C-alpha cells in the first residue's frame, strides 16, 4: 500500500476541514463552538447554516447519512432509499463508487503476479491523489467544493483498501507468484527437455512396471505450478468480466 500517498490525502483533507471550520465560525459568529469531533462540529455547523438559509429547513437524517458515508460506513437499504430520494446526486456518486470497487476487485482477480496486484492498488490511490491535487490550488474552485472532491476521493481510497484487505485475507494474493517466481518458472519451462517415449518392442511381451510411475521425476516445478494456476485464474476472471468503461474521471467544476 502507498502509505505516503494516503497520508498526504488525509493531511490535505484535515487541512481543508480546519479551513472550513474557521470559515463556518466566521459565517455563524460561533468562534467558541466545538463538537465532540471535528466531523461533529462541521456537521452541526453545516446543519445550522442550512437551517438559517432561506427556504431550507435542514435535514438531520440526510446529514447523518453523509457523515456515515464520510467514515466509510455501509448504508442500510432504508438509508439508501432515503439518500436516493433526498439527494439523488450523492446517491449516483455512491452507486458509481460501488461499481468502481467491483471493477477493482475484478481487476485484482485478473492479476498474474503479486507485483501486478500491488501496482494496481498503488495506481488507484495515486489517481485519487492526482485528482485532488488538480483542484488544490485552483482559486476558482470554492473551498466547500474542494472538500467535497477530496472526501469523494478519500472514499474511493478507503474502498480500494477494503477490497485489497479482503483479497489478501482470502489467500488469493498469497497464491499469486512473485515476479521472480514467474521468471524462474519460464526458465524452468525452457530448460525441460522434450522426452519422446521409445516405441515398444513388439517382439517382447508388455509388462506394467509399478515402479515407473512412482519413480518418475515431476516435470513441473513449484514455481511453474504456481504460475500456471495464477494464469488460469486470471484467464477465468477475464472471461467472466464484462468490458468496463473508464472510471478514473471526475467533474471538478465548481
Question: What does the pLDDT profile of the chain (254 residues) look like in tens digits?
Answer: 455 556 666 776 777 666 665 565 555 555 455 444 444 444 444 444 444 433 334 688 999 998 888 777 889 999 999 999 999 999 999 999 999 999 999 999 999 999 999 999 999 988 988 888 888 888 898 887 888 888 888 888 889 989 999 999 999 999 999 999 988 888 766 655 555 555 555 444 454 544 444 444 457 888 888 888 889 988 888 888 765 544 444 444 43
CA atoms of 223 and 186, how far apart (whole Å): 9
Which triple of cell numbers denotes residue 170? 482470502
Inter-helix orientation angle 88-109/60-70, to 10°: 20
Tell me what pLDDT residue 186 has.
83
Tell me what pLDDT residue 240 has.
82
Cβ neighbours of residue 126 closer than 8 Å, sequence gap 6 or more:
2, 5
Closest CA to 176 of 94, 114, 93: 114
Helices and strands per DSSP (H, E), number in the chain: 11, 0
Give the domain ranges of the chain: 1-21+58-186+223-241
Tell me what pLDDT residue 152 has.
85
Tell me what pLDDT residue 105 has.
96
Closest CA to 95 of 212, 247, 197: 247
DSSP tag of 220: S
Tell me what pLDDT residue 20 has.
61
Q: What string of DSSP letters covers 15-77?
A: HHHHHHHHHHHHHH--TT---SSHHHHHHHHHHHHHHHSTT----HHHHHHHHHHHTTPPPPH
Inter-helix orientation angle 143-169/60-70, to 10°: 50
CA atoms of 10 and 4, how far apart (whole Å): 10
3 state DSSP class of 248 = coil
Tell me what pLDDT residue 57 has.
45
Amino acid at each position: 500500500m502507498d502509505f505516503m500517498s494516503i497520508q498526504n490525502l488525509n493531511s490535505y483533507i484535515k487541512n481543508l476541514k480546519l479551513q472550513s471550520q474557521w470559515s463556518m465560525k466566521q459565517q455563524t459568529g460561533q468562534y467558541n463552538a466545538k463538537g465532540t469531533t471535528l466531523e461533529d462540529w462541521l456537521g452541526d455547523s453545516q446543519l445550522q447554516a442550512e437551517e438559517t438559509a432561506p427556504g431550507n429547513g435542514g435535514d438531520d437524517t440526510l446529514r447523518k447519512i453523509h457523515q456515515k458515508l464520510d467514515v466509510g460506513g455501509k448504508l442500510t437499504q432504508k438509508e439508501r432509499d432515503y439518500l436516493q430520494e433526498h439527494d439523488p446526486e450523492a446517491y449516483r456518486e455512491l452507486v458509481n463508487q460501488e461499481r468502481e470497487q467491483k471493477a477493482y476487485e475484478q481487476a485484482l482477480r485478473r492479476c498474474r503476479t503479486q507485483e501486478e496486484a500491488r501496482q494496481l492498488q498503488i495506481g488507484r490511490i495515486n489517481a485519487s491523489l492526482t485528482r485532488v491535487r488538480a483542484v488544490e490550488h485552483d482559486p476558482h474552485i470554492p473551498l466547500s467544493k474542494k472538500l467535497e472532491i477530496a472526501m469523494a476521493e478519500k472514499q474511493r481510497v478507503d474502498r480500494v483498501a477494503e477490497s485489497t484487505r479482503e483479497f489478501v485475507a482470502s489467500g488469493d494474493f498469497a497464491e499469486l507468484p512473485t515476479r521472480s517466481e514467474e521468471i524462474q518458472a519460464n526458465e524452468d519451462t525452457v530448460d525441460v527437455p522434450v522426452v519422446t517415449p521409445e516405441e515398444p518392442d513388439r517382439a517382447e511381451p508388455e509388462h506394467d512396471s509399478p515402479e515407473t510411475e512412482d519413480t518418475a521425476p515431476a516435470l513441473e516445478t513449484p514455481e511453474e505450478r504456481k504460475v500456471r494456476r495464477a494464469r488460469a485464474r486470471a484467464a477465468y476472471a477475464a472471461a467472466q468480466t464484462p468490458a468496463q468503461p473508464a472510471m478514473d474521471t471526475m467533474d471538478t467544476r465548481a
